[in-house]
Amino acid sequence: MTNWTLGERFHQRYPHLSGVKALWETKWKLPCSLGVYPFHDGKLEDFAPIFEKLIEDDVNDAYSDSYTEYFLPTAERLTDAAMSAQASDRAKAAELFKRAACVYRISRFPSVDAGTGLKRKMFENQKQVYLRGASLWADPIKEIVIPHLAAQGEDGTDIPLYVRLPSGASSTNKCPVVLLITGLDGHRPDNTGRTDEFLARGWGCVITEIPGTADCPAARRDPQSPDRLFSSILDWMDQQHYLNMQKCIAWGLSAGGYYAIRVAHTHHSRLAGSIGQGAGSHLFLSREWLEHVDDHEYPFVLSEAYVAKYGYQDWEELLEKAQKDFSLVESGLLNRPCCRLLLVNGTWDGLMPIEDSVLLMNYGRPKEGRFYDRLFHMGYPPANESIYPWMESVMATAG
C-alpha cells in the first residue's frame, strides 16, 4: 500500500459529493462569485438561479440530460442579448457571448460524451457563441482546422485548433508561442484568461484538446496516438511564418499535464520547455489510486468520464489495463531525452497524486518543480505566480 501524501484524506469522501446542493454551497458558489475555475467568463447572477432550481428539484446526476436542460434557458437568453447588442455595443456583446459560453460549459460537465448527445450539442453551442464573441475582440481567437498528416489506425483526419496572435505578428516579427494542451473537461473555449496573459507578453497561442475528449481526433485507446497528434500540430506550426518556433513552450492543464510531460520527451528538440500542471504520469492510473478517485475533489463522480476518455468498455477494464497501457514509467518514455520541464501542483491533489510529479525527478534530465503544500489540484490559486515567470525566463533565453 502506498503511503500517499494525502494521508487520511485519501480514504475520505469529500462533502461536496453528497449532491448538487452540497456542490453548489460548499464548492462552486464562491468560485462562481469570483469568476475562477470552472466559471471563467461566468457571473454568479447567471448561475445562482439555475442551481437553486436544481436543488429544489433534487437533480443530482450531472451525467444526465435532465441536468443539462436546466442551463439552456439562461444560455439562450444571454446569447439573444449578445446578438441584440452587437450592432450598438461590441464590448457588451463580447461579454455576453462569454457569459453564454460559460453557461454552456457548465451544462456539458463532466463529459461531452455523457447522456444521449445533448451535452455534445451544448459543446457545439458553446463553441459557436464563444467564437462569435471572440471575433469582436481586438485580437480575436480563430478556429483553424489542420490535416492530421501523421494519422494512423483509428485517428481522425483533421485537427481543430484555436489560434490567437498578438497584433503585428508577421514573418518579419515572429511571435513566441504557447502550445496550450487542455484537460478532461476544460476544452478550447475555456481559456480566455490564459490567452489574455499570453498576448500581454507578446506571445501567440495554439490550443489543442487531448485524446478522448471534445474534438480531438487522436485514437482514445492507442497510447501512441498523442505522439502522432503533436507531430502533426508541430509540423503545421513550423510552417506558419508568424510563429517563432525556437520560442515554443507547451503547457498541459490537469489531464493535459500528462501530455505535456509526454511531448517534452517525444518532441524534446522542438520545444524550448514544457509545463505539466496537475499532471499524472504513473500512479494516477493505479488500481489503488483509482478506487478512491471518485471520493476526492472532482465536482462529480470521475470514473464515468475516465471510461469515456480512455475508451475502455467499463470501469473494471480501466482499473485492470489503464496503468499498463498509458503509464509513462511502464512505457520507458521517461528515460528518453527531455526538454526543460516544469511540474506544478498542490500536495493535496486528490485527482493526480503529487507522487506522480515527484517520481519524475528519478528519471532522465533534472526537472524543475513547484509544489504547493496543502493545496489541491493544479496548485491554485498561487500556481500562476510560478508558471508565468518561468515561461518568461524560458522565452527570454530560448533561441
Read out DSSP for 203-262?
Answer: -EEEEEPPTTSTT--S-TT-TTHHHHHHHHHHHHHHT-TTEEEEEEEEEEETHHHHHHHH
- 59-75: pLDDT as tens digits: 999 999 999 999 999 99
What is the residue whose three cell numbers read 454552456? 104
Q: Does 61 share its domain with 78?
A: yes
Q: What is the pLDDT of residue 164?
A: 98
- Cβ atoms < 10 Å from Cβ of 324: 11
Distances (CA, A) of 189 to 9, 92, 152, 182, 193: 33, 19, 27, 10, 11
User: By three-state DSSP, how is residue 112 classified?
Assistant: coil
Number of structural domains (the chain) is 2
Q: Which of 111, 232, 254, 281 is catalytic?
A: 254
| Residue range 295-321: mean pLDDT, rounded | 96
Q: Does 7 share its domain with 125?
A: yes
349 is catalytic: yes
| Residue range 82-100: mean pLDDT, rounded | 96
Q: What is the pLDDT of residue 317?
A: 98
Q: Which of 40, 111, 377, 386 is catalytic?
A: 377
Q: Does 173 share its domain with 271?
A: yes
Q: Does 290 share its domain with 381?
A: yes
Q: Does 114 share its domain with 250?
A: no
Using 50, 70 and 90 to split pLDDT, how confident is the model at 16? very high
Residue 197 pLDDT > 90, yes or no? yes
Q: Does 359 share its domain with 256?
A: yes
- 199-231: pLDDT as tens digits: 999 999 999 999 999 999 999 999 999 999 999
Which residues constitute the domain of residue 13? 1-137
Q: Does 96 share its domain with 215?
A: no
Q: Does 253 share its domain with 381?
A: yes
Q: Which of 349, 356, 357, 386 is catalytic?
A: 349
Q: What is the pLDDT of residue 293?
A: 97
- 150-195: pLDDT as tens digits: 999 999 999 999 999 999 999 999 999 999 999 999 999 999 999 9
Residue 1 pLDDT > 80, yes or no? no
- C-alpha angle with apex 342: 337 to 348, nearest 5 degrees? 125
Average pLDDT taken over every residue of the chain:
97
Q: Of the residues 116, 137, 158, which one is the last residue of a structural domain?
A: 137
Residues contacting 124, CB < 8 A, separation 6+: none
Residue 273 pLDDT > 80, yes or no? yes
Q: What is the pLDDT of residue 357?
A: 98
Q: What is the pLDDT of residue 399?
A: 79
Taking the CA atoms of 209, 131, 147 and 244 in sequence, report the sign of the dihedral they define.
negative
Q: What is the pLDDT of residue 261?
A: 98
Question: Percentage of the chain surpassing pLDDT 90?
Answer: 99
Q: 260 near 279, Cβ under 8 Å?
A: yes
Q: Of the residues 107, 137, 167, which one is the last residue of a structural domain?
A: 137
Which CATH number characterizes residue 272's domain?
A: 3.40.50.1820
Q: What is the pLDDT of residue 2?
A: 86
C-alpha closest to that of 204 among 141, 150, 271, 266: 141
Q: Does 89 share its domain with 163?
A: no
Question: Percentage of the chain surpassing pLDDT 70?
Answer: 100
Q: Of the residues 90, 113, 137, which one is the last residue of a structural domain?
A: 137
Q: Does 85 share its domain with 174?
A: no
pTM of the model: 0.97
Strand partners, 69: none
Q: Does 215 share its domain with 232?
A: yes
Q: Does 129 share its domain with 188?
A: no
What is the residue whose three cell numbers read 510531460? 261
